[in-house]
Chains A and B, each alone.
Chain A
Amino acid sequence: MSEHHKETFITKYIFSLDHKMIAKQFLITGMFMGVVGMTLSLLFRLQLSNPGESFAVLEFFLGEKWAPGGVLDPNMYLALVTMHGTILVFWVLTAGLTGTFANFLIPLQIGARDMASGFMNMLSYWFFFAATVVLLSSLYVETGPASAGWTIYPPLSALPQAIPGSGLGQDLWLIAMTLFVVSSLLGGLNYIVTILNLRTKGMTMMRLPLTIWALLIVAILGVLSFPVLLSCSLLLIFDRSFGTSFYLSDIIIGGEALHNTGGSPILFEHLFWFLGHPEVYIILLPALGIVSEVISVNSRKPIFGYKAMVGALLVIALLSFVVWGHHMFLTGMDPFLGSVFTFTTLLIAIPSAVKVFNYLATLWRANIRFTPAMLFAIGFVSTFITGGLTGIILGDSALDINVHDTYFVTGHFHIVMGVSAIYGMMAGVYHWFPKMYGRMMNKKLGYFHFWVTFISAYGVFFPMHFLGLAGLPRRYYTNSAFPMFDELTNINEIITFFAIIGGLVQLLFIFNFFYSIFKGTKATENPWKSNTLEWTTPVERIHGNWPGEIPTVERWAYDYSKPDADDDFIPQTVPLKKGEIEH
């Protein structure tokens, strides 16, 4: 069975087929992109709190062209917003989150030696890497990177005359996104097939840890929705480069009437959001899975309502395909259609509520061990509640008239899928770091990192709801053009203040991460006293995960603090005692 070929530096670290190494490649690329995306956001936050002021740091990063005299150029402002969104949504929270934990956890938690196809897995990473290079290169294009928002609505994204970023920058964006979709599809196919086929003996579907359930559903969502993004951008590419009129109609730009007639920009929005909304859940579900696992382990309690948790994940995933219209209430769509989308959208509140209450029930009468991972998981529950609740306002078509495209939206989705997913990712990194690198991350730095992040994340995004309800539109280069927004200036200053603090503390996390890889205290095989299979593998990473036979699974993953047991955890490999009921 075991094919022990010698690993050279190149096969071990670069073109590795080992799922654990590929996971680390995804993680570190994701973290790097996270720093880039965050830096971009801090640059435009400076402009928002101090419009028109000169900052040396802006000139340092953007150069004389985009920040003449240290003052941000309005086109560059939109480019920064666009790139920040694209990087965070796709590069960090899709590839960085799913790519890392699907690759790392799926074989380890289901008891497989590796993914179904190691080669496809490697290909998936290198497509992602190529996409990263292309996307970053667009930052250095003369006309600037894509600037039409991460949703790239045409005609703005189709016409270089409308905004300079829609020239070469947008082309590179589309190429990067195509590579990215290929990477996601290769990865997704692999995850599904691995989970369905390579489970070890005894690992039935209802014994799977919730992380694996979440990752399976995410992979299915991705495989079904990313191709639609591809078809949507294919038509856009034809419009941009070959003069077709799928999305363009009746346009005069730069004083010139275009020949295009009969196209419909709304068509683009439909296709885009058919991916775009499932994409939101592609981001959120892995975090939900990770948090379920981390909360259960560190509460020393079984996750409450396992079946309901799986059911809720499935329902959320299904609903995510029929709610895309809530992004388009104000596009002049048929009001009746708007009603339907309001209805389906608000239905999502029900499975989400089930998840929240199940988390609370898991914490009830627990014996909580506050690892940094656990803190991030609890932080996730808090942001998931806050962000989920404001979703009830945005999902309601009548209320959306007032807050659509205002800072209320920005606050809502940053809390519910931005911060929440980042918390899920952080929880995962802190929790599985000992398994990834055989060492522990520094606990005290972890605590500090969490509390500063928690305070500054709410400090940044909670006030945005007030801005939005005051009518302040998002994606404005400055709010000073309207006297009615002058009284909101101090809120913007507070937001930027917290954004800088929150950004700086992430550097501390990165320091902790790399310091611990080399100098952290040595981890034991199962430092968190956890039940799942990955903690039965040796500390030293080996190709094939287990030195001997793959362990057999005898029980579900959540036997913590079971009465009559000697310890407060029973690994999945321990057979049921005589007369013991599974759960």
Chain B
Amino acid sequence: MEISLIKNKASKQLLWIGIGSIVMFFAGLTSAYIVRKAEGNWLEFDMPLWFTISTICVIASSATLWFALQNIKENKSATIFLIATLAIGLTFTFSQVQGWDDLVAKGVYLTGEGSNPSGSFIYVISLAHLLHLIGGLIALTITTLKSKLNHYSKDNYLGIELISIYWHFIGLLWLYLFLFFSYS
């Protein structure tokens, strides 16, 4: 019993420190953005509409995942909410790709002649975020399968808790990035 408690605590700590590390990664990228922007020669443009849809996805998926966690705490099945989260997560991925298409349509390119670091930064940072989110999607898929196979119960829902922490963090990260790009 005691050992499983320690494991519980240690896993969460592991995740939190890992999150700290991811925060530093994005802090590095966004501070590079700020430093670079301050030097001038900077292309200004509006965020694509699809990125707003991404933001809605992020909020919605966090909500469904929150319900999943509440359900399992009350010993009800979390599967349906997990599947919903997964679906919205996939929509997010789709909306990101659409957002990049929008950018290209606006003449904001990742690279090549006529590209500007302001555009390149958006692509690279959102791509880096998306990769982190896809990692979350993989973990979420595994959690969903386990939930389907009744691996979780009122006394044992560490997996759902961990993916919740990570998923909310990735969501918040997107929110931060979105506001950062829109208003900085």
Q: Do chains A and B touch in the complex (CB under 8 A)?
A: yes
Q: Does B36 contact A (CB under 8 A)?
A: yes
Kindly identify, within residues 270 to 312 of chain A, every residue whose CB is under 8 Å from any CB belonging to chain B: 270-271, 274
Please tell me which one of the listed residues B18, B26, B120 contacts residue A238 in the complex, with CB atoms under 8 A apart: B120
Chain A interface, number of residues (Cβ within 8 angstroms): 37
Hey, which chain B residues are within 8 Å of A243, CB to CB? 111-112, 115
Bound-state CA distance A196–B13 (Å) is: 9
Kindly identify, within residues 15 to 43 of chain B, every residue whose CB is under 8 Å from any CB belonging to chain A: 17-18, 20-22, 24-29, 31-32, 35-36, 39, 41-42
Kindly identify, within residues 96 to 148 of chain B, every residue whose CB is under 8 Å from any CB belonging to chain A: 110-113, 115-117, 120-121, 124, 128
Is B21 touching A185 in the complex (CB atoms < 8 A)? yes
Q: Does B9 contact A (CB under 8 A)?
A: yes
Is B14 touching A193 in the complex (CB atoms < 8 A)? yes
Bound-state CA distance A243–B117 (Å) is: 11
Q: Does A224 contact B (CB under 8 A)?
A: yes
Is A228 touching B25 in the complex (CB atoms < 8 A)? yes
Hey, which chain A residues are within 8 Å of B35, CB to CB? 264, 267, 270
Per-position 1/0 for A243-279, Cβ under 8 A of B? 1111000000000000101111001001100100000
Bound-state CA distance A226–B18 (Å) is: 12
Is A192 touching B17 in the complex (CB atoms < 8 A)? yes
Bound-state CA distance A192–B110 (Å) is: 38
Is A234 touching B128 in the complex (CB atoms < 8 A)? yes
Is A116 touching B32 in the complex (CB atoms < 8 A)? no
Q: Does B10 contact A (CB under 8 A)?
A: yes
**Smallest CB gap from B113: residue in A:** A259
Per-position 1/0 for A208-234, Cβ under 8 A of B? 000000000000000111111011101
A244 and B115 in contact, given A227-B28, A271-B32 (Cβ under 8 angstroms): yes
**Smallest CB gap from A230: residue in B:** B25
Is A242 touching B117 in the complex (CB atoms < 8 A)? no
**Smallest CB gap from A197: residue in B:** B10
Is A238 touching B124 in the complex (CB atoms < 8 A)? yes
Q: Distance in Å from the Cβ of A334 to the closest Cβ of chain B?
A: 11
Q: Does B6 contact A (CB under 8 A)?
A: yes
Please tell me which one of the listed residues A116, A193, A264 contacts residue B36 in the complex, with CB atoms under 8 A apart: A264
Please tell me which one of the listed residues A1, A189, A198 contacts residue B21 in the complex, with CB atoms under 8 A apart: A189
Hey, which chain B residues are within 8 Å of A263, CB to CB? 36, 117
**Smallest CB gap from A186: residue in B:** B18
Please tell me which one of the listed residues B28, B112, B128 contacts residue A232 in the complex, with CB atoms under 8 A apart: B28
A244 and B110 in contact, given A235-B32, A262-B117, A274-B28 (Cβ under 8 angstroms): yes
Hey, which chain B residues are within 8 Å of A39, CB to CB? none
Q: Distance in Å from the Cβ of A298 to the closest Cβ of chain B?
A: 35
Is A193 touching B21 in the complex (CB atoms < 8 A)? no
B-side interface size class: 35 or more
Bound-state CA distance A223–B39 (Å) is: 30
Kindly identify, within residues 130 to 169 of chain B, every residue whose CB is under 8 Å from any CB belonging to chain A: none
Please tell me which one of the listed residues A1, A197, A238, A264 contacts residue B6 in the complex, with CB atoms under 8 A apart: A197
Bound-state CA distance A238–B124 (Å) is: 8
Is B32 touching A227 in the complex (CB atoms < 8 A)? no
Bound-state CA distance A267–B35 (Å) is: 7
A193 and B10 in contact, given A244-B110, A261-B41 (Cβ under 8 angstroms): yes
Q: Does A442 contact B (CB under 8 A)?
A: no
**Smallest CB gap from A246: residue in B:** B117
Q: Distance in Å from the Cβ of A354 to the closest Cβ of chain B?
A: 28
Is B117 touching A228 in the complex (CB atoms < 8 A)? no
Q: Distance in Å from the Cβ of A522 to the closest Cβ of chain B?
A: 35
Q: Does A358 contact B (CB under 8 A)?
A: no
**Smallest CB gap from B29: residue in A:** A231
Q: Which one of A192, A193, A198 has the greatest number of beta carbons of chain B within 10 Å?
A: A193
Is A245 touching B117 in the complex (CB atoms < 8 A)? yes
Is B14 touching A117 in the complex (CB atoms < 8 A)? yes
Q: Distance in Å from the Cβ of A308 to the closest Cβ of chain B?
A: 27
Bound-state CA distance A238–B123 (Å) is: 11
Hey, which chain B residues are within 8 Å of A116, CB to CB? 10, 14
Hey, which chain A residues are within 8 Å of B115, CB to CB? 243-245
Bound-state CA distance A234–B31 (Å) is: 14
Is A224 touching B24 in the complex (CB atoms < 8 A)? yes
Please tell me which one of the listed residues A185, A235, A271 contacts residue B124 in the complex, with CB atoms under 8 A apart: A235
Is A231 touching B28 in the complex (CB atoms < 8 A)? yes
Is A242 touching B110 in the complex (CB atoms < 8 A)? yes
**Smallest CB gap from B18: residue in A:** A189
Hey, which chain B residues are within 8 Å of A262, CB to CB? 41-42, 116-117
Hey, which chain A residues are within 8 Å of B32, CB to CB? 231-232, 235, 246, 267, 270-271
Hey, which chain A residues are within 8 Å of B6, CB to CB? 197-198
Bound-state CA distance A226–B28 (Å) is: 10
Hey, which chain A residues are within 8 Å of B21, CB to CB? 185, 189, 223-224, 226-227
Please tell me which one of the listed residues A231, A238, A244 contacts residue B25 in the complex, with CB atoms under 8 A apart: A231
Bound-state CA distance A513–B120 (Å) is: 52
Hey, which chain A residues are within 8 Å of B120, CB to CB? 238, 244-246
Bound-state CA distance A192–B9 (Å) is: 13
Q: Distance in Å from the Cβ of A32 to the closest Cβ of chain B?
A: 28
Q: Distance in Å from the Cβ of A58 to the closest Cβ of chain B?
A: 40
**Smallest CB gap from B35: residue in A:** A267
Q: Distance in Å from the Cβ of B77 to the closest Cβ of chain A?
A: 29
Bound-state CA distance A271–B112 (Å) is: 24
Hey, which chain B residues are within 8 Å of A223, CB to CB? 17, 20-21, 24
Task: Taking A228-B24, A231-B25, A267-B36 as given, write out 11 further A-B residue pairs in contact, using a Cβ cutoff of 8 Å, ordered by the A residue number.
Answer: A224-B21, A227-B21, A228-B27, A231-B26, A244-B110, A244-B115, A245-B116, A246-B36, A259-B112, A262-B117, A271-B28
Q: Top 5 A-B pairs ranked by shortest CB distance?
A: A227-B25, A231-B28, A228-B28, A243-B111, A244-B120
Q: 25 A-B contacts, Cβ less than 8 Å apart? A: A1-B3, A116-B14, A117-B14, A189-B18, A189-B21, A193-B10, A196-B13, A197-B9, A197-B10, A223-B24, A231-B26, A231-B29, A232-B32, A234-B128, A235-B32, A238-B111, A243-B111, A245-B115, A246-B121, A262-B41, A263-B36, A264-B36, A270-B32, A271-B28, A271-B31
